[in-house]
Amino acid sequence: MSPNTTLGQQLPVLSEDVSSWKGASVLSVTQMTPGGLALVFEIAHQMRMMVQTQGADTRCQGKLLATVFYEASTRTACSFQAAMMRLGGNYLHVDGEGGNSSAAKKGESLTDTIRCLECYTDVTVLRHYIKGSVGTVIEAATKPVINAGDGVGEHPTQALLDVFTIYDELKLPLSAKATANSKPLTIVLLGDLKHGRTVHSLAKLLAKSHTAGVVLRYCAPDGLELPEEIQEYVAQFDHVLQETVTDLREACQQANILYVTRVQRERFESDEAYQAVKGSYVVDTELMQQVPSDMIVLHPLPRIDEIDPAVDSDPRAAYFREMENGMYVRMALLALVLGKV
Amino acid sequence: MSPNTTLGQQLPVLSEDVSSWKGASVLSVTQMTPGGLALVFEIAHQMRMMVQTQGADTRCQGKLLATVFYEASTRTACSFQAAMMRLGGNYLHVDGEGGNSSAAKKGESLTDTIRCLECYTDVTVLRHYIKGSVGTVIEAATKPVINAGDGVGEHPTQALLDVFTIYDELKLPLSAKATANSKPLTIVLLGDLKHGRTVHSLAKLLAKSHTAGVVLRYCAPDGLELPEEIQEYVAQFDHVLQETVTDLREACQQANILYVTRVQRERFESDEAYQAVKGSYVVDTELMQQVPSDMIVLHPLPRIDEIDPAVDSDPRAAYFREMENGMYVRMALLALVLGKV
Amino acid sequence: MSPNTTLGQQLPVLSEDVSSWKGASVLSVTQMTPGGLALVFEIAHQMRMMVQTQGADTRCQGKLLATVFYEASTRTACSFQAAMMRLGGNYLHVDGEGGNSSAAKKGESLTDTIRCLECYTDVTVLRHYIKGSVGTVIEAATKPVINAGDGVGEHPTQALLDVFTIYDELKLPLSAKATANSKPLTIVLLGDLKHGRTVHSLAKLLAKSHTAGVVLRYCAPDGLELPEEIQEYVAQFDHVLQETVTDLREACQQANILYVTRVQRERFESDEAYQAVKGSYVVDTELMQQVPSDMIVLHPLPRIDEIDPAVDSDPRAAYFREMENGMYVRMALLALVLGKV
C-alpha cells in the first residue's frame, strides 16, 4: 500500500468551512480549496492585527504543541513555537537529529514516536528529511499533524506565507470571492531554481490559485534552471505565462515581485564559475535604483551574499515582514486545526 | 557515609495523607505506603478526567519545573514537561548529556548543578546514568526532586504508571481500602527479563502491593531470564506464585495481562540464535486470536519487532493508553509534591 | 565603521527614569547611571519579595523571550528563562552551538539570525563567544537585546547580580540617594584574577559605583594576578584602595566580602605548581573559623575544589543566594526593557 495512493483518500479537503479544518492534518497545500486558502489568509491577517495590538491572546490556553524536527530548522521550529505561545498555548520540542531523542536510537519507528507524543499533546508539527514520511505518520496519527517539511517533498507553510506576503505587500484582497477580481502578477524567481524547494512550491501554488493571471520569469545561472516537471505542472494552467530571462535588470522590468533565493557556491563546478555569475545575481542598492519603484523583494532566508544588507532599509525589502508573516500563517493553521477560530 | 544508609533515614514516607507529600522528594516506590500508592492512583484518575474534559487547569500557575536529563529519554522528559504544562505550570530543560550543559564540562558536581537550578525553579525531575546519584542529590536538595531513572537503580514513575494501567484496564478499584478486596491477577512477563529495569520494578511493586494474589509467569529466551535476586525478593510474599513458561501461547492461558518488553538482538551470541527465538516471542494478530479475549497487552515502549503494528487496533492493545497514563501519574506526583492537590 | 565608536552613540543611557529603559538594549553596565543601577537593584528586591510570597505574577503575559546561546551556559540561560516565566511570559531557546541552529550552518550572519527571531519574539538574550558581537547585533536590532556575555567582553548581568548580592548581604541601602551615605567596603578577590571575566567586571563596577570607599584586596597565585589594565582603570578613582595580599587568612582580616573564583588546574605549568598553591587558596571550615564572623563568601559558580561543600551550611556562605539573586536581577532587566515595571 503506497502512502501516495492512500493519502489522497484519507487527507481531508480543507475549505472555507472552518469545521473542515478542526482535527485535520495538513500535509500539503493541495488539500486546500481556493476558499480554504483564502480562509487561512484572512485568519493570518486577523492574527497580525491581534499580535500588533495586544501581543497574544489565550484562545489555546492549556493546549500543547509538540515540535518534532529530524532536520534542523531554527526559523520554522521557532515560528511554530512562538505561534503557539501567542495563542496562549505551550509546546515541547523533540530534536530528532540527536539532542534529546532517545527513541530513534533504540530503533523505534517514526510513527510510533509520534503516536507516543500524541499521548501528551494536542497537535504535532513534524519535519523529517525523508519525502513521504510525514504523510505516513498522518495515516496512523489520532490527532492533527502539520507538515513542516518532508525532505524534497512538501513544505506547505512556507508556500502559504510566501503567497500571503505577496498578496499583503501588493494590497491584493485576501478573501476567496475577491481573488477572482484580483489583478495579474509578474513575479521574478531568481537564483538556484533547481534545488530550491521553496521556489517549486511557490510556483505551483501561484499557478494554481492566482487565476487572474501570472507571469513567472525565471532568472537562474546555467545549470540551475527550474526543473522540467515543475515547468510542465505550471504549463497546464492557461492563465500562467512562463519566461526565461538571463539578465536580472531586464527580468525586473514591470515586475511586481522579485523572489530571491540563495545561489549556493557548492553547486558550481569551480569557484571561477561561481564568481562569474555571482555578481549578476546580487541584489544591491544599485539594482534597486533600476527596478520598479513598487517592486517588492522577498527571500525565504537565510541569505548569504545574494542581497546586500544595505538593501534592508529599502521599504521594498519585505523579507523580514515575510518572516513575521510566517508566524501569523502558522497561528492561523494551529487555531484552525485545534478548532479555536 | 553511604548514600543508601542515609537515604532510608532522610526520605519521607509517602502515605494517604496528602501533607506527607508536600515538599517531599520521590526517589523510590518503596517510600510509598499502600495508602500512598492508592492516593497517587486516585489523583492520576482525577487528572485524566480533568484533561479529557478541559485539557488543562491552572493549579500550578507560576510554578516552574526543571527537567534535568543526563541520559536521553524522549518519553519520560516529554511526559513530565506536558504534565507540568497541563497543571498550568511551565518548565525549563537541561540536557546534561551535551547540549546546553556547560556546568558538567567545567567539572561541577551533580549536586551543585541541581542546587543552582533549584534557585530558579520549584521542583526538579532528574535522570542520571549512575545508580544512587539521584539519592545523593536529594540529600542536599532544598526543594522536591523526583527520580526519573538512575541507571540500573529505580525508575519509580514507570512502575507506578504500569500498575496504574493494569488496575485501570482490568477495572480494579484504585483506592487503598478497596485494593484488599481486589481479585487475584495473572501476569505474563515476556521478553528480555534479565536487562529490563521496567520489568524488575513492576514485579517487585506488584508482589508487594497486590496482596489479593499474583501469578507471575516468566517467558524469556534462554539466558535472558529474570535475575535471581528479583525472584528471591518476590518469593518472600506468600500471595505471589512464580512460574516459568517457555511457550508464549501456553503462558497466556488464563492470563489477565501480557507485559511485553524488547528482545534486543545484540544480547544474542549469534544472529541465528536471535532469529531462532524471535518468532516465538512476537505478538501478532494470530497470537491475539489464541489468547483470552480480555487479556490486556502492555509494553513500556519503544518497541521494535516484538509487537506487530497490526495489533495496535485490537482493543486489548493498551500500550498507547499506558503511555498516556504516564502523564496522568506524573501530574499526580507533581501536584502532590507542590502541595496543589 | 568600528562597532565601538558607533555603540557609544547609539546605546541609550539607562537612568533612574523607567522610561529610559523601555525598548532599550543592555550591552554594558557602563550604560547605567548610579540612579539606573539603583533602580535595577530596587526592582530586583521587589521581584524577590514577589517570588517569595506568590511565586510569579502575570505582568509579561503574552510576551516572548528568545534565549540565543552560541556558548553553553546552563546557569545564565536557565535563570533568564525562569525570570521570564516568573513574570508570566514564555521563551524559546536557540542553541547556536549546534543543537537546533540550522541558520549558522547555512552561513547566515549573526545579525540576520537575531533579526529573524525578533519577528517572533519581544526581547532577545544573546550570548556569543566573540567580543563585540552582541554590540553589532544591537545596532541592527529593532527590539531590545540583552547581553548575556560576549566572549572576553562584557557580562553585565553577572556584575549586577554580584553587586546586588554584596549590598543585600551587607544590608546596605539599595537606593541611589542612600548609596552616597553607604559605608566603605573591603572586598577580597581570590583565585585566578587573570582570566576571570567576572572578577574584572565586578572590580570595575564597584570602583565606579561605590563612592563611599572600597578596598580591593587581590589574592592570586603567581602568574594569575589581575591584569594591569583593570588595575589602572580602578586606580583612577580616588575612593578605591588596591592591595595585594598573598596569604588568604591575612587578606580576610577586616574584610566584608570574600569573592572566590576557580583556580583552574590547566592554567599551571605543572601539576606540582598547582598542588603547591591549591591548598592555600581553598576555603574550608578551618578558614571560616579564622575570618570575621560577618564576612560573606561569594562565588560566581561553578566551583570545583576551591570551596569545601562543608562550608555550604555556614550562614556566611552566600553563593547559592547569589545564584537566586541572578534571577531577580534578570527579572528586573526584562521587566524594565519590556516596559512592565
Quick check: B66 and C75 CB within 8 A? no
CA distances to A190, B320, C49, C339 from B324, in Å: 48, 6, 38, 41
- The strand pairing partners of B258, in sequence order, are B188, B297
pLDDT in tens, B79-127: 999 999 999 999 999 988 754 455 556 678 999 999 999 999 999 999 9
The CA distance from A40 to A28, in Å, is: 13
Span C116-142, average pLDDT: 96
Q: Which pLDDT value is given to residue B103?
A: 56
Cell 536529594 locates to: B138
Q: Which residues pair with A216 in a beta bridge?
A: A187, A242
Contact A20, A35 (CB under 8 A): no
Nearest to C145 by CA among C12, C315, C305: C12
Q: Do B120 and C320 touch (CB under 8 A)?
A: no
Q: Which CATH number fits domain B3-155+325-337: 3.40.50.12170, 3.40.50.1370, 3.30.930.10, 3.40.50.2300?
A: 3.40.50.1370
> Per-residue pLDDT tens for A266-325?
777 788 877 777 777 899 999 999 999 999 999 999 998 899 999 999 999 999 999 999
Chain C residues whose CB is inside 8 A of the B108 CB are: 301-304
Mean pLDDT of B285-293: 97
Q: In the prediction, which pLDDT does A105 show?
A: 62
Q: Which residue in A78, A94, A161 has the most chain C C-beta atoms within 10 A of its own C-beta, making it the best mutation to test that interface?
A: A78
The conformational region for residue C301 under phi > 0 = left, psi -120 to 50 = alpha, else beta, is left
**CB of C124 closer than 8 Å to CB of C141:** yes
DSSP string, B105-138: GGT--HHHHHHHHHTT-SEEEEEESSTTHHHHHH
d(CA B84, CA B79): 9
What is the CATH T-level fold of the domain A157-323, as seen in this structure? Answer: Rossmann fold (3.40.50)
Contact B62/C86, CB-based, under 8 Å? yes
The domain locations on chain B are 3-155+325-337, 156-323
List pLDDT tens digits, range A117-154.
999 999 999 999 999 999 999 999 999 999 999 988 88
**Pairing, β C214-219 against β C185-190:** parallel
Chain C residues in contact with B100 (beta carbon < 8 A):
69, 72-74, 77, 93, 95, 99
d(CA B90, CA B66): 9
Q: Do A63 and B56 touch (CB under 8 A)?
A: yes
* CA-to-CA separations, B287 to B143, B188, B283, B309, B312, in angstroms, rounded: 49, 14, 6, 13, 13
Please state, in angstroms and rounded to a whole number, the distance separating the CA atoms of residues B169 and B321. 9
Catalytic member of C48, C155, C200, C217? C155
Which residues 246-275 of chain A have a CB within 8 Å of chain C?
A: 262
Pairing of strands B257-260, A185-190: unpaired
Please identify which of the residues A86, A143, A155, A330 carries the catalytic annotation: A155
Residue among B183, B181, B180, B185 nearest B206 (CA): B185
Is the pLDDT at C176 greater than 60? The verdict is no
Which is it for strands A123-128 and A145-150: parallel, antiparallel or unpaired? parallel
For residue C336, the SS3 value is helix
CATH classification (class only), B156-323: alpha beta
State pLDDT tens for residues C256-270: 999 999 877 777 778
pLDDT score, position C222: 86
Quote the strand ranges of C240-319, DSSP E.
240-244, 257-260, 296-298
In whole angstroms, give the CA distance from residue C157 to residue C26.
9
- The Cα–Cα gap between B195 and B202 comes to 13
**CB neighbour list of residue A315: distance below 8 Å, 6 or more residues apart:** none
Catalytic residue among C45, C127, C128, C340: C127
Q: Which chains touch B (3 or more CB pairs under 8 A)?
A: A, C
pLDDT of res. C77: 97
Strands C214-219, B296-298: pairing is unpaired
Integer Cα distance of B287 and B203 in angstroms: 24
Q: What single DSSP character describes residue B99?
A: T
Same fold, B3-155+325-337 and B156-323: yes
Domain C3-154+324-337, CATH class in plain words: alpha beta
Chosen for mutation from B120, B121, B340 (greatest number of chain C CBs closer than 10 Å) is B120
Q: Which three cell numbers stand for residue C233?
A: 582603570
The pLDDT of C39-52, averaged and rounded, is: 97
CA-based nearest distance A296→chain C, Å: 18
For residue A164, give the H/E element and its range: helix A156-169
Joined together, the cell numbers standing for residue C35 give 540612579
Q: What is the ipTM of this complex?
A: 0.92
Q: Which residue of A has its CA nearest to B313?
A: A140
A312 or B179: whose pLDDT is higher?
Answer: A312
Task: Give partners of C (≥3 CB pairs < 8 A).
Answer: A, B
What letter would DSSP give residue C215? E
Q: Which among B64, B107, B119 has CB closest to C324?
A: B119
Q: What integer is the mean pLDDT of C126-136?
A: 94
**Cα–Cα distance for residue pair A44/A52, rounded to 1 Å:** 12
Give the C-alpha distances (Å, rounded to integers) separating C37 from C93, C98, C334: 28, 35, 14
Chain C residues closer than 8 Å to A324 by CB: 119-120
Lookup result for grid cell 540500573: B152
Listed residue (C164, C137, C162, C131) closest to C149, CA to CA: C131
Name the residue of chain A whose CA is nearest to C111's CA: A309
Among B residues 92-111, those touching chain C with beta carbons less than 8 Å apart: 92, 94, 99-103, 105-109, 111
Cβ contacts from B onto C, under 8 A: 86
**Predicted local distance difference test score (pLDDT) of residue A180:** 53
Q: Do C54 and B62 touch (CB under 8 A)?
A: yes
Burial C307-326 (b: 16+ CB within 10 A, else e): beeebeeeebbbbbebbbbb
- The minimum CA-CA distance between B84 and chain C, rounded to whole Å, is 13
- Which stretch of A94-103, B311-320, C63-72, C329-338 has the lowest confidence by average pLDDT? A94-103
- The distance of Cα A37 from the centroid of its chain, to the nearest Å, equals 13
The alpha carbon of A170 is separated from its chain's Cα centroid by a whole number of angstroms, namely 18
Displacement of CA A201 from its chain's centroid (Å): 8
| Of C69, C70, C68, the residue nearest C118 (C-alpha) | C68
Identify which of A272, A328, A340 has the alpha carbon closest to the alpha carbon of residue A49: A328
What's the distance, CA A83 to chain centroid?
15
Q: How far apart are the first and last CA of chain C?
A: 36
